[in-house]
Amino acid sequence: MKLTRIKKILSITLALTMVITLSNCKSIQNANNAQKGGVIGAAGGAVIGAIIGNNVGKGGNGELGAVIGGVVGGTAGVLIGRKMDKQAQQIEQEIPGAEVERVDDAIVVTFNDEEGGGIHFDTNKYNIDAQSQETLNRLSNILKEFTDTNVLVVGHTDSAGAADYNMTLSKNRAYAVHNYVVNQGINSSRLTVNWFGEEQPISDNTTAAGRAKNRRVNIVILPNEKMKEDAQKEAGE
């Protein structure tokens, strides 16, 4: 297990360097103006980088910008950060195989297909197996405890097979995770799904180990508007 704290200065730098690249991204081109503004916010660039390996390209359904907003600053931001830190630590402690990153206000959890990765799919399948069910049961219990958050589920594949097929496969796998969590009692209004097929590798697709890392599902947990409003009230901002 791995818990990484990405400092805000690095996040902002990453966001700035990604603005030009994002302008050519299919998901951005398909988004409305409000969505575009959310993506290019300070948190947006950093969180997107953590989700898709700092290599923005094609794919998905254009919802990332609507889900990921800017960083809450000041005392309210500190209060939010403490809550998100607590949740991140609980995920790391209770879910074996989860790679957990704190990126500004968000938590990015990566489950890949390496041994112990936590969520596995048979070749060309998208059913949730017994091991993955246990992982998602634990995640669902944590989400029930921390109710003032929204969740983004993002699916990826390796490059084996046709690109169009992999895009659909990553969508089906992401929705399989979404549906399972909803069936555990998580309100569907808290969840958004996105997918990138083989377009966003984070490792070398020419090796078995690299392909296993690329076959992954990201769970991104973000403060919802209630958490932000409560923190601002508590801070007197």
CATH of the domain at 98: 3.30.1330.60
The burial of 7, by beta-carbon neighbours within 10 Å (0-12 exposed, 13-18 middle, 19 or more buried), is given as exposed
- What does the pLDDT average to over 65-78? 78
Q: What is the pLDDT of residue 9?
A: 35
Residue type, 66: A
Q: For residue 181, give every residue at least 6 positions away whose Cβ sits within 8 Å of its Cβ, in sequence order, or none.
A: 136, 139, 140, 143, 151, 153, 191
23 phi and psi angles, rounded to 5 deg? -65, -20
**Edge-to-edge strand list for the sheet holding 216-223:** 2-6, 99-103, 106-112, 216-223, 149-155, 191-195
- What does the pLDDT average to over 176-200? 95
The burial of 5, by beta-carbon neighbours within 10 Å (0-12 exposed, 13-18 middle, 19 or more buried), is given as exposed
Q: What is the dihedral of CA 176, 182, 184, 190, to 10 degrees?
A: 130
The pLDDT > 70 percentage for the chain reads 73
Give the residue with greater pLDDT, 24 vs 215: 215
**In contact, 43 and 106? CB cutoff 8 Å:** yes
| CA of residue 179 relative to chain centroid, distance | 16
Tokens 């603005």 belong to which residue? 19
**In contact, 102 and 85? CB cutoff 8 Å:** yes
- What does the pLDDT average to over 102-112? 88
pLDDT digits (tens, 9 = 90+) for 145-175: 999 999 999 999 999 999 999 999 999 999 9
**In contact, 68 and 44? CB cutoff 8 Å:** yes
Q: For residue 230, give every residue at least 6 positions away whose Cβ sits within 8 Å of its Cβ, in sequence order, or none.
A: 148
Give how many domains the chain has, as a whole number. Answer: 1
Domain that holds residue 174: 2-235
State the pTM of this model. 0.77
pLDDT above 80 for 69? no
Residue type, 13: T
Q: What is the pLDDT of residue 186?
A: 97
